[in-house]
Structure 1
Amino acid sequence: MLCLFDLDGTLIDSEVGILGCVRHALTQLGVPHPTEMRHWIGPPLRHSFAPLLEHDHDRIEQAVEHYHERFHTIGWREHTVYPGIEAMIGQLKAAGHELAVVTSKPERHARPIIEHLPFGGAFSRLYGPHPSSPHSEKAAMIAAALADFGAKPEDTAMIGDRHFDIDGAVANRVRGVGVLWGFGSRAELEKAGAHAMAATPQDLTALLSA
């Protein structure tokens, strides 16, 4: 099976780094920080900045650039691996599954994270949008992975914690597996049409091995 993994909220807990960069960007623009920010993790940056910046294109682009400046220097290191993930990846790889990462994070930001993970070498490919893209593009990236691996949709799973992951899976008719340890919710994943749910990495290993 081809197993496509989301990054933030699925393999790593990146809340500290992402929100630190969001706060930095807003501070640079003199914009007060929202009190609740967890919903920023998952959607494309421009989508999240737009309401706060009154949909002003130039200010949104400035915010994204400030975000990237901090992320490039320190933000990419501010994360932890969820317990059980390393063992799960090792088990899936040993069982002969093909593994890849499909993330809304620009590839230039995701690649150093993947390369520094103790299990990063298990992933054959990394798919991330261009930094200038306003869209998550999960559907397009999953389609590219299917083509690159020559995989059938019925032999492929997209694993993630937000509806963006499941939306992309549904668009490509692959199994969408929601994980409950990330930044989404069971209700969000069910509404998007998740094929199955995993409460722990051990549960996920069992689901993907079934």
Structure 2
Amino acid sequence: MKRYALVDLDGTITDPRPGIIGAYRHALMEMGLEAPPEEELLWVIGPPLRQSFPKLGVAEPHVEAALGHYRAFYSAGAMFNAPVYAGMPEAFAALRAAGVTLIVATSKPHVMARPILAHFGLDGHFHAIHGAELDGRNDDKGDLLAHIMAEEGVDPAEAVMIGDRKFDILAARRHGIANIGVLWGYGGEAELTEAGADRLCATPHELATMVLAKN
């Protein structure tokens, strides 16, 4: 059993698709660009915004402006359009009961992650909620994990990273942290396997058992 579980937010705890895609489409239209259909934007769920906007046609000098449009729309209410995956609250309760310290590790700015978790009544499960800064610091998941380990005194040998995208797995491997790739989010089995996931979890209902296993 690991003492610490570092948990991604988007695509792991909540399904942020409606809010995030809506905010991206709004930002692109505000920038005078064509907004792709929703199905063509699913890849943006996970990586930092500053990495995604240039791939959508926003010129580098205008990325911060696009980011401003996104955040204005998102913080006005779209961020709460992200239902919690069934079984996650129960998984968190089981892990806490077993003595596991839960910490959120999200590339989303922590100033947005905290109210989202509070909105859904999940914030009480977590010892700490860590995310990126609005200025881009800790956008990179590996940098974020380094920050969390320093701030919270987490021994990488006593931790497991739980997430749905390759960014979660690669960041964990960078620091020698065990990891679990979850299959109900936006990465999928192929992406997570290629990234080197230690284990794959098919449903939230299996998560606590997997984290508490000795291996």
| CA–CA distance in structure 2, aligned partners of residues 171 and 183 of structure 1 | 21
- What's the offset of the Cα at 1:139? 1.2
User: How many pairs are equivalent?
Assistant: 209
1:115 alignment counterpart: 118
Could you tell me how far apart the structure 2 residues matched to 1:122 and 1:2 are? 13
Within the candidate set 48, 52, 71, 1:48 is matched to 52
Q: CA deviation at 1:53?
A: 2.5
Amino acid in the other structure paired with 1:169: A
TM-score by length of 1: 0.95
Query: Is 1:8 the counterpart of 2:10 in the alignment?
Result: yes
Contact 1:45–1:134 under 8 Å retained in 2: no
Question: What is the 5 A alignment of 1:37-186?
Answer: 37-53=41-57, 56-133=59-136, 136-186=139-189
User: Where in structure 1 are there 5+ consecutive unaligned residues?
Assistant: none
Moved over 4 A (4+): none
2:20 is matched with 18
d(CA) in 2 for partners of 1:138, 1:29: 27
CA distance in 2 between counterparts of 1:18 and 1:174 reads 28
- Counterpart-to-counterpart distance in 2, 1:112 and 1:191: 33
Cα distance in 2, alignment partners of residues 63 and 135 from structure 1: 19
Query: Can you give the 5+ residue segments of structure 2 that lack an aligned partner in the other structure?
Result: none
8 Å CA contact 1:159, 1:178 repeated in 2 = yes
**Could you say what secondary structure the match of 1:159 adopts?**
strand
After superposition, what is the alpha-carbon deviation per residue over 1:38-72, rounded to whole angstroms, capped at 9, x for unaligned?
00100111211102325x22321111100000111
In the TM superposition, residue 34 of structure 1 has moved relative to its aligned partner by 1.6
Q: Which amino acid aligns with 2:199?
A: A
Shift of 1:98: 0.2
Note if contact 1:136-1:164 (Cα within 8 Å) is conserved in structure 2: no
CA offset at residue 134 of structure 1?
A: 7.5
In structure 2, C-alpha distance between the alignment counterparts of 1:187 and 1:60, rounded to whole Å: 30
Offset at 1:144? Answer: 2.4
Residue aligning to 1:197 = 200
- Distance of 2:20 and 2:173 partners within structure 1: 27
TM-score of the aligned structures, taking structure 2 as reference length: 0.93
Distance (whole Å) between structure 2 residues aligned to residue 82 and residue 152 of structure 1 = 28
* Deviations 1:126-173, CA, capped at 9 Å, x for gaps: 111112218632112212222333332121001000000001100110
